[in-house]
Structure 1
Amino acid sequence: MKNLTITEDLYGQRLDNFLLKICKGVPKSHIYKMIRTRYVKVNNKKVDINYRLQLSDIVSIFQLSVPASSRLQNSKILPRKFSVAYEDDYLLVINKPSGVAVHGGSGISFGVIEQVREYYKENSFLELVHRLDRDTSGLLILAKKRSTLLAMHSKLRDRLIDKRYVALVHGRWLNQRQHIKSSLSKWITKTGERRVKVDPNGQEAHTAVNLIRNYGDSCSLVEVELYSGRTHQIRVHLSSIGFPIVGDTKYGIDLSLFNEKISKLVSKRLFLHAHSLIFSHPNTEKNLKIVSDLPNDFSNLLIKLDGIC
């Protein structure tokens, strides 16, 4: 058994994120299983995966044996410099490419956070403020100080960070502005993959959608505002009302069923991009607006659609 005491530089983290850093190379699915089966306790009590660690908490790890078939291979972390949209002594905002996970786990040796830490070795502290799906591109915020991380988390909880996305969806969007307020819950597929669905008994979720333009009846470009931050919220909300995001292999439609002329143009990516962030700086109180242009593959598709629609 291993006991770890939470100090000032560690408190405020979610238990699962803390364990992912402590248990290097252990798949995320195994971390969750350890918590569910009481192989991890806090102050000798079973807690939820989402529990946020408090100062002086004692985290006990009773067993850490991973089946050989589940152990990650080739786990050497490769440093990577991502495109920087904003940086100062407290915050780092990068442009995450589509197809790159934000952290390691679930069969992935390492993600953005591990690569950024390897690149910025002089920074003793670097943590994700929030997450983006692996297939979503765009703005991702990291904190360079524990106090900044906690302040940004507080802003997220109080909805003081305006996060906007651009998405290309199937179908012709009709309303200039539309709100989607459907509760969401997580579920596990037969293969053990986590998914999200609309569920009246789930957690409340609120998305607002603004029409940018239509491309005939085939697809539409929309701006999405998040008023809550549920897993896969944008993807599930849009799909639930009949406008799945182009390239969404989890909640979308098979491209072979889509307009044949257009489907030939679509690259294998999710056409969802974290486009802008507006918030007051937690340390300087300066009002920030950070914008990320659409990636080339996204903007090139729009140019081609403009030519045929």
Structure 2
Amino acid sequence: MQSQSGISPSKVFLPQGGHAFGTVLDFLVDKFPAIQRDEWVSRFNDGLIFDSDGLTLSVTSQYLAGTFVYYFRRVESEERIPFNETIVYQDDYLLIADKPHFLPVTPGGHYLQETLLVRLKKSTGIETLSPIHRIDRETAGLVAFSKRASDRNAYQALFRDRLVEKTYQAIAPYQEDLQNRFPIHYQSRIEESSVFIQMHEVAGEPNSDTWIDIEEVSGSWAKYSLKLGTGRKHQLRVHMSALGIPIKNDQIYPVLQPHVMSNKDFTQPLQLLAKELSFVDPISGLKHHFFSTQALHL
């Protein structure tokens, strides 16, 4: 299935037992209640819904259980992220990008064109690019991509099996009472909370661990080095907040701030940077150690 403007289609399976749905349109309206029926009709009319053979479906196309339907998402108004990514390395199998703050890695929610993956597909012409791992939209730094679909599992296994060393830098408050505890090996159990988008720590066996050390101190602020053991969602932000030193300009921890969709303030990025990645390439056998060209300043 070909992409459009660097964006690949999403797909949904039409299960058995969907006899109540006479058409694909009826199924999609029921499956995705957050999307209005008129929007689905518009996508059909604009040729954005396909079957597995790439044939365009219409509002009258019948529901066929056991098949896949492909569809393209749309965002009516998408604000330009005024910062550029760079490519720090690529070979026949691998591409390493240096992502700016505010730019999501992959399409989702209100972001389609303004994502690292779509930008890279457009600039390189490589339609098969796929991220091996993710970092938060607010976080800057290194993101690794596989160039060939046949290699994705091997690369993803590196991260799953904790064979990649990931080092971050962060600016956060300096607390003298913590000075003698560094380096800190912080462990906790992190799970989804009842607050939208936030994670939180709960009692139980730890499922996350981070090594935290101080690199530099300037007045009431310090630059920290953070090494990931596990890679739980928002792990570094949760751990730093739990220590009483939340990362500077964090809009989620310890208190969730309203998310602004337009006219964003780009002057106060989250002071978190994915600074280093190192691993042995499972395809080429090369020993890689990559560094972000970006820096955080006290």
**Superposed CA offset, 1:19-47 (max 9, x none):** x94339xxxxxxxxxxxxxxx559769xx
Rg comparison, structure with higher value? 2
Report whether the alignment pairs 1:198 with 2:201. yes
CA distance in 2, matches of 1:278, 1:42: 42
> In the superposition, relative to structure 1, how do residues 182 and 148 fare at CA in structure 2: closer, same or farther (>3 Å)?
same
Structure 2 counterpart of 1:184 = 190
Report deviation, 1:171: 2.5
- More displaced stretch, 65-74 vs 267-276: 65-74
Contact 1:74–1:109 (8 Å) recurs in 2 = no
Identical columns (%):
25
Structure 2 counterpart of 1:280 = 280
Structure 1 counterpart of 2:221 = 219
Letter aligned with residue 113 of structure 1: L
Structure 2 counterpart of 1:257 = none
Structure 2 counterpart of 1:236 = 238
Report deviation, 1:62: 8.0
What runs of 5+ residues in structure 1 fail to find an aligned partner? 5-19, 25-39, 46-59, 255-265, 303-309
Corresponding residue SS for 1:224:
strand
Structure 1 counterpart of 2:69 = none
Q: TM-score, normalised by structure 1?
A: 0.67
Report whether the alignment pairs 1:112 with 2:99. no
Structure 2 counterpart of 1:260 = none
Contact 1:182–1:206 (8 Å) recurs in 2 = yes
Contact 1:81–1:119 (8 Å) recurs in 2 = no
Structure 1 counterpart of 2:159 = 156
Corresponding residue SS for 2:208:
coil
Contact 1:73–1:109 (8 Å) recurs in 2 = no
Report deviation, 1:112: 0.9
> In the superposition, relative to structure 1, how do residues 43 and 207 fare at CA in structure 2: closer, same or farther (>3 Å)?
farther
> In the superposition, relative to structure 1, how do residues 44 and 290 fare at CA in structure 2: closer, same or farther (>3 Å)?
farther
Report deviation, 1:144: 0.0
Match for 2:28 among 55, 64, 79?
A: 64
Match for 2:10 among 15, 23, 30?
A: 23
CA distance in 1, matches of 2:216, 2:268: 22
CA distance in 1, matches of 2:206, 2:171: 26
Q: TM-score, normalised by structure 2?
A: 0.69
Report whether the alignment pairs 1:145 with 2:151. no
Corresponding residue SS for 1:206:
strand
Higher helix share: 1
Q: How many residues align?
A: 234
Report deviation, 1:72: 1.9
Contact 2:187–2:206 (8 Å) recurs in 1 = no
Report deviation, 1:124: 3.6
Give structure 1 regions of 4+ aligned residues with deviation exceeding 3 angstroms.
40-45, 68-71, 74-78
What does 1:42-121 correspond to in 2, within 5 Å? 63-65=27-29, 66-67=35-36, 72-74=75-77, 82-110=85-113, 111-121=115-125
Contact 2:164–2:277 (8 Å) recurs in 1 = yes
**Superposed CA offset, 1:214-250 (max 9, x none):** 223x121111011111110000111011110011011
Report deviation, 1:71: 5.7
**Superposed CA offset, 1:230-285 (max 9, x none):** 1100001110111100110110479xxxxxxxxxxx94110000000110112111
Report deviation, 1:169: 1.0
CA distance in 2, matches of 1:246, 1:103: 24
CA distance in 1, matches of 2:121, 2:274: 22
> In the superposition, relative to structure 1, how do residues 293 and 176 fare at CA in structure 2: closer, same or farther (>3 Å)?
farther
**Superposed CA offset, 1:35-68 (max 9, x none):** xxxxx559769xxxxxxxxxxxxxx998323226
Corresponding residue SS for 2:96:
strand
User: Considering only aligned residues, what root-mean-square deviation do their CA atoms show, in Å?
Assistant: 3.3
**Superposed CA offset, 1:148-174 (max 9, x none):** 221111111111000000001113251
